[in-house]
Structure 1
């Protein structure tokens, strides 16, 4: 999945980072007009980032639960053919299912937190330069 969707994920997260920073900048006058115009779009952009990151994190944690469920199957009562199948399933489920953007950045909640922090930092830096 990382090979197929890695480039798209990298572009998506970069877009959300830049968009989040710009949306915060557009809301920075702190008046009702800017909040009415850009507030919902800002909330939507951050909500999209949060939802996609949590979904990828849930996929990773469900893979761990699947591995434990396969391990806890009563394999002692199975015949040899079914034991071999169960063994292959166990091996496949123990491979980490971390999704990476371009095989560089692991996608998940930690990435989301980093993007949010960086967006706020860039926003504050741009606002400081604009005022000065």
Structure 2
């Protein structure tokens, strides 16, 4: 029986029909190269997810400040100071969010494009090689990993928008009725600044989140069904 490896490499001996030689090549070369390749490809996504979770944490901190810092009897000067603090913190979050968009926008768009093309091709290969069970398992794992990565990235980016959605409501329900006119004007300005939602816009104007993920998955399975139907005919 002929053995298989993830990568076909040249060796001074034939390892395809010798299990012991195949084991040496597979462990020393294939596992090492594939593990490092996956690590290099995945490190950008891991760093991106860490930064996005950090951003979500900042949004939650801002919401906590809005909820708790204006309770009790505060004079106008103290209210003004805390409103300025909210403005500065929100400005920091917006700048941070824009920096993340600029740094990872191409990576996010590339991931969506890769899933749109690669998932369809892998399902097509599954349809072609349906008789070879060993290869089918490999493609099933690859397809599952790619789609899972797409879903994970989309839900993480959608969480940023969800967390920022209720910020205007929190601002509006602050106890502003007894504030001075200047503080009320400042509150209106904060409310205007905080209205736009934090939706991640990747390179090319792609609005990342659950909606493009759903479209990609629908398109992938639509292509698969169409190709399968055409091959039967």
After superposition, residues 1-132 of structure 1 pair within 5 angstroms as 1=98, 4=102, 5-28=104-127, 29=130, 32-79=133-180, 82-127=183-228
Higher deviation after alignment, 119-128 or 108-117? 119-128
5+ residue gaps, structure 1, are none
Q: Deviations over 1:43-92 (max 9, x none)?
A: 11111111111222221122111221111111124445654553333222
Which protein, 1 or 2, shows the higher relative CO under an 8 Å CA cutoff with sep ≥ 6? Answer: 1
Instruction: Tell me the SS of whatever aligns to 1:76.
Output: coil
Q: 122-131 vs 67-76, which deviates more?
A: 122-131
CA change 1:30–1:18 in 2 (3 A) is farther
Query: Cα 1:98–1:40, aligned 2, differ >3 Å: closer, same or farther?
Result: same
The separation in 2 between residues aligned to 1:27 and 1:78, in whole angstroms, is 66
Kept in 1, the 8 Å contact 2:158–2:209? The answer is: yes
CA distance 1:121–1:108, change in 2 (3 Å): same
> Aligned pair count?
132
Distance change >3 Å, CA 114–CA 30, structure 1 → 2:
farther
Q: For structure 2, which runs of at least 5 residues remain unmatched after alignment?
A: 1-97
Q: What SS does structure 2 have at the residue aligned with 1:24?
A: helix
TM-score by length of 1: 0.77
Q: TM-score, normalised by structure 2?
A: 0.48
